[in-house]
Structure 1
């Protein structure tokens, strides 16, 4: 069981995983929470849009249509691999499905064949609508599949879920066929492999010669960042903050945690969209993963 991510944390999780994100106006407050529960969330459902073109598909999923008002998902993933954020909260994407499937997702085991139509999926699943005609002929470009992998892994990582928390719409209900054109078992294998590595690494290799995965410094915990800490990790962090245009340093950065480090890190948190106590300058896991501090012995 998990509380849905706030807009700031959703955005930070996606960016930490290396997702190319476009924020559409109003996405942070667009939802259908007035029509029913939103949460606890248990997983992600992947769909195809039965449409073409990024702009048209985003508009369709944002606004919906007469028989099914929008938003129709939280994000649209286009063929270029861009994730378009259009909503935060309950969306009309899953509909009713099989409670046994939901129980399998919660247990992170293989879902049984969908049979019953007895459970409100909109309350419990994030939805990614992926631009594709859904005719079995429209291709799924490598960039799009990589974005599906990354975006799904981002939510799993943020909630502490495994790849078993990601299903296709056709696995949720017997009335749907999406996504059509790739296997969800294969996608789950990709997501599982990604979750076994630090956030933000390269995509699944598609040809020989793919560069090795960069190694980033694991999050050392918020208690690491005190005036008593002197470590090359602090220097590496500071250099990344400078590179991101978030410097509040007069000199340095250096190895001992300082007020300049805290103020610089607060700039980074605000750049990610965090506010209030979430932008106090003390590193948290999501913002740290997004910073991609090089591994330091």
Structure 2
């Protein structure tokens, strides 16, 4: 089962959590780029502790904090937000897509790195050239939240932007910071290769409560194959309240069926009401669609 706090990471919650909007699971690759250096003038890597304190204690840093700060030279990792909350490292313009919230998860990973940083007398031009300690564990944690081992806009190769609003809205996977709509950064420039074989998650990850709602009411009429798979599972566990279907259009029968499932799981009163929650969703084991 996916863990809200990455196993092995230092847990340093800064509060200020907020709900996600639901949709495709995403992970965003950033670098801290906290110094400007060059091949002619490399600069010492900023201490990990400085960035950890910046994101956790400094008001300016807390306002742009990611989920994860990762030191690829030592494998140290600290987490500031749980996976089911938005973090704050993406530009989010009024009236546009809520970039920091646009998914069932939007896991933002800040690598402690800038081009031509110097560590133990060696300068590193690209993040991918570092030891990348801890990367396999980060990748596995993101995968556990439904983020596939795939770069939606291509693996980062140089400091550039390849933004696509349609791909951002509709596709699960990894995005470079430079490939996110509304953002003007071009990092990370490079990123380590994925480790091991890619496998689709067996069960549909919890898409977030907002996926099932329109304002304060159920999102009746919304169409998604997730609703068909959910309904079929509800029938299989003896909680179906359908006269027809289930099908891809969310209807009152889906709401009634899921509330029956929540009661079967032992919930009562308001806790048994729509929308689904992560505990009952994971227990239902909706097949991945």
Q: Same fold (TM over 0.5)?
A: no
TM-score range, shorter chain: 0.3 to 0.5
The TM-score, its normalising length taken from structure 1, stands at 0.33
| TM-score (normalised: structure 2) | 0.34
